[in-house]
Amino acid sequence: MGDSIVQFSLIIGFYLASMGIGAFLSRFIRDADILFGFIKIEMFLGIIGAFSVPMCYLFFALSDSSGYQFFVLSLVTLIGTLTGFEIPLLTRILEDKTSFKENISDILTFDYIGALGATLLFPFFLLPFIGLYRSSLLFGLINILVACITLKIFSDQINVSRQKVQLTYLANILLAVLIGFMLVQTSNHIQQWNESIYKYPIIHTENSQYQKIDIAKNNSEFRLYLNGAIQFSSRDEYRYHEGLVHVPLSQLDSVHSVLVLGGGEGLAIREILKVPEVESITVVDIDPAVTMLARDNQLLSRLNQSAFDSPKVTVLHQDAFTYLKESEEIFDAIIIDLPDPSNESLARLYSDAFYKLCLRRLAVDGVLSTQATSPHLSTNAFWCINETLSKSGFDYTYPYSVYVPSFGNWGFVMAKRTPDFNSKLRDGIEYAYLEDESFNHLFYFSKDIRNPQVGVNNLDKPILLEYYLDHWQSLQGEKR
């Protein structure tokens, strides 16, 4: 859905406003019906809460994304309105048992502590170990259980017929069975969902602490996706990684130490290891799940030629920004192979502050290269990265592009302090794509995508994100 700050603001704003609407509407529930009204609210929350994520997945798979924002905000509004009923109803239910002051104090205390518990539980346990789909079903089931327990404890105080109580019990049991069935079938449902939105069947899927990781395979080709965005295809990734690695390394007479930021799948490392004089490669990738998969998955380890087994390679699972701030090492080359700047956290890794930190870790005659999105599909984002590097202390920047069939024409930027430029590749390396005869052509851009007026991306105003999302929104509705 794009800009996460916008989405957080919309979701929280709509949710809190909807709670206010629910609190206002609670006054229309008569005191005589208050217990049964609370039970019905919990049932509706259970139904809608449990199936909210499955409904979002279904909407995404069957429709284009033009109405997705409206659909999500509608769900949030409905859930917020139902949640808004709870505290006023609980306060009225318990008003005869304690004083109003103690009553409202106890309810709000448990409500806020519960909110903190859920806030910590979701990112550190539920998302990485249970997943989004199961989490929504699980919490919906909890609401159904709350309705059942309330019905059991207060059955003699509920001002409805015995038949209605029994029917409500039966409805809750059926809902619990349905949700339980959905929990059991989650893996099958997610597999079907993945196959409906990805081009190839999914053979591996997991949720790490940081992202969703999928591998899709068809015959001899497989693809890695992070959070639904393709990272490479085994069919043509060599074009991308040769361009990312060997173009900048060709600018150095000698290269002994290389820093790789990102690249946890090991393919950039594979290319660097082809240069025999390289003595050390430091890889900084925040997600250990990716590097573990690259080591242990047979398809990936075969493709990266077991790069992580080389004694030259050191892997650090850190945030790249933090590493650059704290490290004292100097490198001959820095290779930046990070995901596209699709949110604020990633956009800051393309900022002037980030590139200035890179400059501090780079030898005076060293070279940096970074992937820079597509110069055709996200033209402004590509040139923004180039402009940001040029304003960050790199006196010479060299934007270039490589045609990768899975991605289209893909862009990179090479940056240096010194003006010397070598248009000849290193000898003694077997290249599958690059060659001296076409080297200079990599740096040519047609005039329709050449040097638009763009700003510098910085931490306070990540303008790169806006440029990138303009491209993303233009692709809404396309399947992967």
Using CA atoms, how far apart are residues 157 and 180, in angstroms rounded to an integer? Answer: 30
360, 397 in Cβ contact below 8 A? no
Helix then strand then coil, in percent of the chain rounded to 5, is 55, 15, 30
* Angle between helical axes of 186-197 and 34-62 (0-180°, round to 10): 40
460 in catalytic set: no
Determine the 3-state secondary structure of 85 from DSSP. Answer: helix
Neighbours of 366 (CB within 10 A): 25
One of 337, 427, 460, 470 is an active-site residue; which one?
337
Using CA atoms, how far apart are residues 286 and 161, in angstroms rounded to an integer? Answer: 59
Buried b or exposed e, range 32-68, using 16+ CB within 10 angstroms: eebbbbbbbbbbbbbbbbbbbbbebbebbeeeebeeb
Q: Which of 375, 358, 333, 390 is nearest to 471 (CA)?
A: 375
Q: Tokens 């999928």, residue? A: 214
Using CA atoms, how far apart are residues 450 and 452, in angstroms rounded to an integer? Answer: 6
Q: Report, in angstroms and rounded to the nearest whole number, the Rg of the chain calculated over CA atoms.
A: 27
Cα(first)–Cα(last) distance of the chain, in Å? 15
Q: Tokens 């229309």, residue? A: 28
Backbone phi, psi, residue 259, to 5°? -105, 130
The bridge status of strand 362-371 relative to strand 257-262 is unpaired
Residue 216 makes CB contacts below 8 A (sequence gap 6+) with 194, 198, 199, 200, 201, 202, 203, 222, 223, 225
Using CA atoms, how far apart are residues 372 and 113, in angstroms rounded to an integer? Answer: 44
Token reading at 460: 């306070």
Catalytic residues: 337
